[in-house]
């Protein structure tokens, strides 16, 4: 039998026994810090993979400030046939694992692109979060600079079924979104019905295309109500579909939504300023990137990046 507060008032128990009971009660009550999150309307589903390890800590840290349940669905690159591979080299670090509420590791997939593993991350992740009324889904290389404004972002959804950060069109829909859980289940069922197994994939692949086009098609054919948001126009790339340059789009304006992986890749390839080092995990980022970004932050001089940028 468990203990209740009345058990602390039982006549004749020793102080040692009372202290032991209090310890047990306090320890059990402490679970409410995370357990009560299941009663929130919104849960967070973070999809990621080992290639995102340099960005995942900042993602988790910024989203933790929302105080919502966080499920991390993690892709598994590691072929079981590679006996020398140590999963510990590729899994999230302890400080990340300590700050999430549920971890899902998908089965290994022999696949040449992102669509197959993404499908499984979404299928398992959404199923695990069935009891939430809404799901906020985000990739593990995005951060929120103004998480305190999240309710404003959520309010934009209104009575609609789905809203992504954009671009949002009849033929392509971003897979970072806030949506009714029931709608996401329907989207993933539509995805599955035209994707698994191989003969189904082969039948529909030329017609259905990538993840974004499959989401858009499902939304259209299911008749879901969408709030369409555009990501904004980048100075050098139009539009800023991957948020590869910061400071653009409705989600950025409201919650400071930034794609750190995209920013880093763009800065390197197009000789631009890198994202702040505080958003990069120095334990897993390349020593080359770390050296020059740190040097830039110490000096404030873009010239030091000349040796970092490709020639």
The per-residue pLDDT for 245 is 86
The per-residue pLDDT for 1 is 60
The per-residue pLDDT for 44 is 98
The per-residue pLDDT for 267 is 95
Measuring CA to CA, which residue among 126, 122, 284 is closest to residue 196? 122
The per-residue pLDDT for 197 is 94
Give, for all 311 residues of the chain, the pLDDT tens digit.
688 888 888 898 999 999 999 999 999 999 999 999 999 999 999 999 989 999 999 999 999 999 999 999 999 877 777 788 787 788 999 999 999 999 999 888 777 778 999 999 999 999 999 999 999 999 999 999 999 999 999 999 999 999 999 888 899 999 999 999 999 999 999 999 999 999 999 999 999 999 999 999 999 999 999 999 877 777 766 777 788 888 888 999 999 999 999 999 999 999 999 999 999 999 999 999 999 999 999 999 999 999 999 87
The per-residue pLDDT for 86 is 80
The per-residue pLDDT for 237 is 66
d(CA 167, CA 18): 60
Structural domains in the chain? Answer: 35-222 (3.90.550)
The per-residue pLDDT for 81 is 79
pLDDT digits (tens, 9 = 90+) for 228-248: 987 777 776 677 778 888 888
Total length of the chain? 311
CB 224 within 8 A of CB 183: yes
The per-residue pLDDT for 165 is 92
Measuring CA to CA, which residue among 134, 77, 125, 123 is closest to residue 101? 125
Q: What is the 3-state secondary structure (H, E, C) of 71-118?
A: EEEECCCCCCCCCCCCHHHCCCCHHHHCCCCEEEECCCCCCCCCHHHH
Neighbours of 70 (CB within 10 A): 23
CB 60 within 8 A of CB 96: yes
The per-residue pLDDT for 301 is 94
């Amino acid at each position: 039998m468990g203990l209740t507060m009345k058990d602390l008032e039982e006549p004749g128990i020793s102080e040692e026994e009372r202290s032991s009971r209090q310890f047990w009660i306090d320890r059990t009550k402490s679970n409410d810090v995370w357990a009560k999150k299941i009663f929130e309307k919104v849960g967070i589903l973070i999809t990621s993979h080992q290639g995102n390890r340099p960005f995942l800590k900042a993602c988790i840290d910024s989203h933790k400030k929302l105080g919502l349940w966080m499920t991390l669905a993690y892709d598994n690159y590691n072929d079981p046939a590679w006996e020398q591979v140590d999963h510990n080299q590729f899994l999230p670090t302890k400080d990340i694992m300590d700050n999430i509420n549920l971890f899902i590791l998908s089965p290994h997939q022999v696949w040449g692109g992102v669509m197959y593993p993404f499908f499984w991350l979404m299928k398992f992740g959404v199923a695990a979060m069935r009891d939430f009324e809404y799901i906020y889904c985000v990739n593990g290389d995005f951060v929120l600079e103004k998480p305190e404004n999240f309710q404003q972002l959520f309010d934009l959804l209104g009575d609609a079924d789905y809203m992504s950060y954009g671009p949002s069109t009849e033929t392509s829909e971003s897979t970072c979104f806030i949506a009714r859980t029931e709608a996401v289940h329907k989207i993933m069922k539509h995805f599955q019905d035209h994707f698994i197994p191989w003969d189904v994939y082969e039948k529909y692949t030329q017609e259905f295309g990538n993840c974004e086009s499959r989401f858009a098609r499902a939304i259209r054919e299911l008749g879901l109500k969408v709030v369409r948001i555009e990501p904004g126009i980048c100075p050098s790339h139009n539009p800023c579909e991957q948020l590869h340059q910061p400071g653009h789009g409705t989600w950025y304006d409201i919650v400071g939504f930034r794609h750190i992986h995209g920013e880093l890749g763009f800065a390197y390839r197009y000789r631009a300023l890198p994202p702040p080092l505080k958003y990069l995990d120095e334990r897993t980022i390349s020593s080359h990137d770390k050296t020059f970004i740190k040097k830039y932050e110490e000096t404030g001089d873009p010239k030091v990046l000349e040796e970092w940028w490709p020639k």
